[in-house]
Amino acid sequence: MTTTETGRYAEDCAAAYLRASGYKVIDQNWRTRWCEIDIITQKRGITYFVEVKYRAKAAWGDGLDAITPKKLQQMAFAAELWVNERRWTGGYQLMAVSVAGQPPQVVDCIEL
């Protein structure tokens, strides 16, 4: 399986987890020429912009360790573009999902 295929599989795993947790998945792999958002969901009128981080082995650290201040800034920029493009007037929040293992499973899910 290629890195891209593994990433997609991890994102699909995260999307399934979010659906099972009561979130409605609106979009996956939303992209512009400047940025991308892995998953966009909604729950109780709030839109969540979700970054999925995958690690094949725990020895490489938790996927959430990759959510650096720079990554948070990129996520916020992408969310703002989506909000402005859609003229969304409701609340929104950034979220990260850590996926690990073979087969991939959700390890953690946090609001940022």
Indicate the domain borders of the chain: 3-111
Q: What is the CATH number of domain 3-111?
A: 3.40.1350.10
In terms of Cβ atoms closer than 10 Å to its own Cβ (0-12, 13-18, 19+), residue 81 is: middle
- Write down the pTM of the prediction: 0.92
User: CA 112, CA 108: separation in Å to the nearest integer?
Assistant: 12
**75-112 tens-digit pLDDT:** 999 999 999 999 999 999 999 999 998 888 898 999 98
